[in-house]
A and B are shown apart, each in its own frame.
Chain A
Amino acid sequence: MSVATASEVFDVIVVGAGPAGSTAALLCARAGLKVLLLERGEYPGAKNVSGAAFYGSAILNELIPNWWEQAPVERYICRRDIAFMSSTTSVALDFHCAAEGYTTPPYNGFIVLRPRFDRWLAAQAEAAGAFLLTSAVVDDVLRENGRVVGVRVRREQGEIRGKVVIACDGVNSFLAKKVGLQREFHAHELSLGVKEVLGLDPAIIEDRFRLSGDEGIAYEYLGAITEDVHGGAFLYTNRDSLSLGVIGQVSSLVERRKRPYELLERFKAHPAVAPLVRGAKLREYSAHLIPESGWTMKPTLYTDGMLVAGDAAGFCLAAGLYLEGMNYAMQSGLAAAETAIDACRRERYSARALSGYRKHLKQRNVSTDFRAYRHAPAFVNSARLQNLYPEVVASGMEQLFRVDGSAKRKILPLARQLMRQYQLKPGELLRDGYQVVRAYLW
């Protein structure tokens, strides 16, 4: 499709063909709307990076039944391993689940590679009738009487008119900022992820990680794995490769003057990680920002003629136990699409007409989840949880398990000694306990 033929008015213009944008475009196209899906990369997914653990299988299954049979997926996730690390020790929670829905359809989660998966998803939107235009950067919106009436693509005759614009242009969302819906971010609100895909023979992967067939495992690491930088690390099994990476809060990287790719090298060399990656060969290195602060970086979600969804709206849940973005991108993309479909039916596109987006986000459990876990991101990135507690846990286990002929100590004296050793004060422990309760319990 050439932009010249697009001189007519689209019902919906979606900016960004990631999980939020392609899902929104798919639903709008199915509702019979005339949809334009714009992507700045050479193909959808060309600019996109995440782990990528995708926990939105059931959501996508509503749209495309048995989607995993046709989509490029790596492995389904039936095991998760969450580890507290010190420089020498790892203490992990190992979750292995063969319950229905984990190892059977619709599967709880999949590991995917974004350039392949996102490209496939955008093709589904195209098959539903959306026009996909790649290599198209959107520099600004078109405005008339203060209302958003389209977008300006960076090329000749790049002005394209649309009744509703859905901005799914990612964590740096230039559009949400241009329109005044989003503020500039602070360095403590965003984390940088650096990642490698390392090729490894599938037979070795299955042996080494004790997997059968299409099973996969997701490892997440907290503590000294990022030294004194606030963040964490991950390792996922793909079909014939491993995806691994280190995530560091930007402000913390700056303060500690740490280079992210050096942290990545140290992660691979950690005694608990090195045997997992042995013999693997680098295929691709990548990097991306993550809007980790969730609820606190939520923009104004809509204005006259425009909605914001996905990472552009900060819908990424980084709450320690959960590290989920693609599912919320899709859920918010669907909510935005439902709002746009309503608006087109009623032929009303004002902010008031689009205010139903709030209701749809609630029905799709986006705002409810982010509200419920609004205190978790700050707690997860706090200095004590990042640097102190993993060390205490690791050191405690080291002492508990060490047999050297001296008298065994019971837990209470050991705890007292650890509190002295790490200068933990009962008041601070209580306060942190309260933080956990507030962040996770109710």
Chain B
Amino acid sequence: MNESMKKLLIPVAVILVCAIILAAAGAGLAGTAAANAEKELNDMIAYLMPGGGEFEEVEYTGSDAKITNIYKGEGGYVLAMTTNGFVDEIKLLVAVDNDGVVKGYTVRDIHDTYGLGLGVQDDLFFLVGLMNSQGDLAVNSNIDAVTGATISSSAVVACVNAASKFVQEAGAAGVLTGTADGFMGPITVSVTMDGDTITAVEVVSNSETPEIAGGALEQIPAAIVAANSADVDIVAGATYTSNGIINAVKNALESAGGAGGALTGTADGFMGPITVSVTMDGDTIAAVEVVSNSETPEIAGNALEQIPAAIVAANSADVDIVAGATYTSNGIINAVKNALSGGSSEPEPEPTPEPTQAPQTAAEAYQGFGLSNTVRMGPGSDDTGTPVYSINQVFANVVFDGDGKILAIYVDQLEYATPNYDGASMPHFSGWPGQGGYNNDSNHDAVVDGTTPDTEEQFTEEVAGWLTKRDRGEDYVMGTGTWHEQMDAFQRLFIGMTVDEVEEWFAKYCSDANGRPLTENSSGEGDAEKYAALTDDEKAMLADVTSSATMSLNDSHGDILSAIRKAYENRVPLGAMSATGMGLGLSSTVRMGPGSDDTGTPVYSINQVFANTLFDSEGRIVAIYVDQLEYATPNYDGASMPHFSGWPGQGGYNNDSNHDAVVDGTTPDTEEQFTEEVAGWITKRDRGDDYIMGTGTWHEQMDAFQELFVGMTVDEVEEWFAKYCSDANGRPLKESSSGEGDAEKYAALTDDEKAMLADVTSSATMSLNDSHGDILSAIRASFDNMVTVDLTLG
């Protein structure tokens, strides 16, 4: 062996020896490490929830990937959670009491930046903000992110919210725990109830000998579920284990329904389910607490306060309702009845919903639709430095009286962003096909994990998947409730105001810095002075508003005010009618083409149809106002077509600025271009007489269809389309229709039907559902989104 080889053997030997020593040390210390880790975890759990009793780990069967382990005690739960912070995973423990209130929090593992992300483990204001929350936190709304650590703060807040919601749902689902002695020690079971039905029994922990007790551990829980009772036969040869399981189940059931136990019941209120906790002392109702509800505080506040107290005072759920909050009162009463009967009482028949907006009468009325399109730069950039952008479209369906006062209003909004936006449920758009796709954060962990496919399929799927903020429902949580709850509160506020008054209200009572309603704590520039100048009555009014609506009416997230203003400007007169429902439906579809420009680059467009409808009590359309926005790549050579060149940074798009079918350059790839293009988007009605079709203009054709649809239900509109329109192109049939099967379809019609069609096609020949837009789906969506109103007009 030469000298060089000998020298080489030395480091090899050192590496191997070190590895052996480390492996041996690891094996030797494994037991100690496990014991110390368990002790430390128990100490930490006890510290986070003092007085929480003895904790035991229970199996988590849900789908929230953030929850890794659950430890249940008498006083509540401690959840071990893992989430993705800015640098790496953050592991934490969250303690939540049985009411879903967050009582403790600690970070177990984090690798964020010193002075920035690490603040989520020790920033005093952040930690204080987390405490006593109930799944209702929203970063930079009701809790400030740690400075310079928005991503990690958001991740932690999402965990804390998820922990609280888990406990609230566990309570509502009726998961009970009981313990009793087996042969070798205590047996703990988890019993899942659905009303008064035992749906699952699980032995959570035991010390029994598997060879002896295995049969009982397997058979007894199944027998209890099958019998829906703890009174089942024991397994021969495992008497003590069988009785241990049976007694543990009884213990669990007694802890829920026995003396001093807390019962849980749920029933529908006006805005959603109401869950109550009823504490019994023998046969006496000792306490009733509303654990969760979605009611509007201004309307339901008295009922939420007075009904539980009245039930305790009467020791009965048969108490008088609170005037003005009938549905909330009945919801609480039925929830208590549900709890007292072990969750078994049949729910009350679903009542006809009360109008969500106060009844209105007007001799003269108008309906208008307004759309505002704005851009948002950010928030910030992704982890590769690529900016995040989004487009916000606010659309408002508003009914005005002759004086311009709002009688009914329905506002919704669509925001779609670049796919590197890391918020969940955000609709995405990757730019036009051929622009290279966009950075994608598919798992919303603030880390880009690829680029979206640069295909027409991706384009089609993304646009088809766009959901409005109302569609996003409970996923769109804000500081105070969800987006739709906040918007509902604003809508109620605006009833009876003119548009000028709405704008004056905004100017007087909202922050000049961020457009949000002022509060005592508003910290924008000049907010404190503006708030201080208000009278006590005005401050009280604002406190009332901000108890349910805190979002801005005009900021980078959308310009709601402009949409309402445009609705007023676009208003058209309504005839005499009674309306009990109001809806606004949006359909978004893509169009490939027409063709390509002279350089061979394809033309694309996006079509958004907005259907604004009023329905009567039978679901018949009593008024309808449809408008449409189409925006295309700038190489589309038609005049007056709104353009979109893709997101800044995607290189712009071929531009045919003088509409001569010859590309004469590329649009600027700047944020200014982006802003100007979106701000310039006008609807097909706005394009007015510039939008000429085969028969009249687009708005004249749409008016003719609208007139046709009044008096029909949405089903009837769809049936009309199926029967009288071409299967090939969706246009109303004519004698000369030449699509496949059109001649046969037309020939099968009666003379009266042909005459009706001739009448329709004399003014409306466009398709109701083709690549130019899906009007039918928008009308259907407006029906599906319908809210109750009470309008008597004319």
Whether A and B are associated in the same complex: the answer reads: no
